[in-house]
Amino acid sequence: MPAFCLSIHARYQCRHAGKCCQNWTVPAEPAVVRLVEQRGLRRPGVDGPLFLASRKPDPAGAVDVARDNNGNCVFFEQDRGRLCLIHRDAGADALPSACRHFPRQFLLDARGTFVSLSHFCPTAANLLHGREPLQVVDAAPPLLIAEPIEGLDARDALPPLLRPGVLCDMNGYTTWEREGVAVLAREDVTWAEALDHIAAATDRLRAWTPEKGALAVCVGNAFQDESADAGPQTPRDQDLVAIVSQLAAGRAGGGPHPIADFDRVWNDRVGRAFDRHDAAMKNFLAARLFANWIAYQGRGLRSIVHWLRTAAALARHYTLQRVLDSRHEPGPGDFIEAIRTTDLLLLHVIDTQAFAHAVAPLA
C-alpha cells in the first residue's frame, strides 16, 4: 500500500531530545522483556525491577517499563547523550511499540498509510519552521517505520461522512484533504484566513447531492470560491478550549485553565507578535488536518474543521498563558512550547472519539 506524509515531516528522524523518555508510563511487550533479559541491558546506577505489572492488564502480556526516582524511563541515559539504552544497543525495531511509533500518528484506510507527527516531540516541533513548500508527498524511512504499524485502522470502514447521513467517496475526501493543505500552503493568506476559507468551502459542500456531479469536482469548485463567509456554525475559541478542558479533567496534566477576557488580554500581551509564527502555524494546522482520525470518528467534514479550530485555539491559549506566567514579552520559545502542549493534549491525553462526540451537535 502507498504511504503519504506532509513534506515538512518527510525528513523526520529521532534526534534524541528525550522528552518522550521522561514522565511517561510505557507498556513493553513480552518480546522486549525477553530481549532486555537476554542481553542484560541495565543502566548503570539503576537498581530494582526494570518492568512492573501493568496498571491496565493487557491480554498480550504487556508490562510497564519502570521509572527511576526522577520519573524517567529506567533505560533513558539522560547524562550520556540522552539516548535510550535499548535503542542504542539493540536498534529502533527492538523498542516497545509505543516508543517505536512515537511521535508518529498513523491512519490506515482504503487509500494507503498516512503518517503525521505529534509536535510534543521537540524535533518534530522544530520542523514546523521548515522552508520547503507544504504539500503531500510519499513517505519513506526513517519517518515510515516497518510493519506492524499501529494507529487508527479504517481499512474496512466506510468512507468519512460529508455531513450526517451522507458519505464522501474516497476520491472526494482525498480532494478535500489536499485542497485544505493547499490553502494552508498559500503565502497570501494568514493562518486564520486559511482556516476560515477551509470552513467556508466545507460548509458550501454540505449542500452536495449526487445529482450535482462528482464530489471531487464540487470540492474543487467550493475551494475556488474566495468568499470569506466562514459559515453559520463557527464556535467560539474559548468554548472549544472548554471542551478540551472537560475531556482532560482527571487525566495526567489536566487541561487548560480559563483566561478571563481572553481577546482583550491577547491583544494587550501578544497580538501582532504572533504574526511572526504565521507560516509555522499553517504548517501545524496542516499536520492536524492531514491523516486525522476525526474524519472517521466525527459526523462530517465540519467535525474536522472544529478539530482544526480547537488546535488553533489551544495554541493561542497556551502562548498567552506562558506570557502571563513568565511576565515577559512573547518569544519564539513560547510558540513552540504552546504547540507542544497542544499536541500533548489533543494526541496523547484526550480521547479523540470523545472529542468527536462532544462537537457532534455542531457537525
Comparing CA positions, the residue from 2, 8, 4, 68 lying closest to residue 339 is 8
Burial of 97 (0-12, 13-18, 19+ CB in 10 A): middle
**Half-sphere exposure of residue 191: CA atoms within 13 angstroms, side-chain side:** 21
139: three-class secondary structure by DSSP: coil
Full-model pTM: 0.94
Q: What is the pLDDT of residues 182-228, one digit of tens each?
A: 999 999 999 999 999 999 999 999 999 999 999 999 999 999 987 75
Q: Given a cut of 80, is residue 52 above it in pLDDT?
A: yes
pLDDT at position 235, please? 87
In this structure, what C-alpha cell is assigned to residue 130?
521548515
Burial of 140 (0-12, 13-18, 19+ CB in 10 A): exposed
64: three-class secondary structure by DSSP: strand
Rounded Cα distance, 264 and 53, in Å: 50
Strands (E), 14-77: 27-28, 51-52, 63-65, 76-77
pLDDT at position 44, please? 87
In this structure, what C-alpha cell is assigned to residue 33?
522483556
In this structure, what C-alpha cell is assigned to residue 355?
472529542
Comparing CA positions, the residue from 254, 201, 237, 260 lying closest to residue 315 is 237
Burial of 148 (0-12, 13-18, 19+ CB in 10 A): exposed
**Residue 105 Cα distances to 23, 144, 357, angstroms:** 20, 11, 21
Rounded Cα distance, 145 and 139, in Å: 10
Q: What is the mean pLDDT of residues 126-131?
A: 93
Confidence of residue 241 (pLDDT cuts 50, 70, 90): very high
Percentage of the residues of the chain whose pLDDT score is greater than 90: 80
pLDDT at position 38, please? 93
Q: What is the pLDDT of residues 77-120, one digit of tens each?
A: 988 878 899 998 998 889 999 999 999 999 999 999 999 999 99
Rounded Cα distance, 147 and 42, in Å: 27
Q: Given a cut of 60, is residue 360 above it in pLDDT?
A: yes
pLDDT at position 228, please? 59
**Residue 121 Cα distances to 138, 204, 337, 340, angstroms:** 22, 36, 10, 7
Rounded Cα distance, 298 and 304, in Å: 7
Confidence of residue 1 (pLDDT cuts 50, 70, 90): confident
76: three-class secondary structure by DSSP: strand
Residue with cell 487525566: 251
In this structure, what C-alpha cell is assigned to residue 205?
459542500
44 or 313: which carries more pLDDT confidence?
313
Asked if the bond preceding 96 is cis, omega within 30° of 0, the reply is: no
Residue 130, phi then psi, degrees to nearest 5? -65, 150
Report the range out of 53-57, 179-183, 202-206 with the highest average pLDDT: 179-183
pLDDT at position 183, please? 98
Q: What is the pLDDT of residues 317-332, one digit of tens each?
A: 999 999 999 989 999 8
pLDDT at position 233, please? 65
In this structure, what C-alpha cell is assigned to residue 185?
500552503
Q: Given a cut of 90, is residue 310 above it in pLDDT?
A: yes
Asked if the bond preceding 103 is cis, omega within 30° of 0, the reply is: yes
Q: Given a cut of 80, is residue 230 above it in pLDDT?
A: no
Biggest distance spanned by C-alpha atoms of the chain: 70
| Mean pLDDT across the chain | 93
Burial of 22 (0-12, 13-18, 19+ CB in 10 A): middle
Which residue type is seen at 173? Y
Q: Report CA dihedral (305, 310, 311, 315) to the nearest 10 degrees.
A: 140
Q: What is the mean pLDDT of residues 41-45?
A: 89
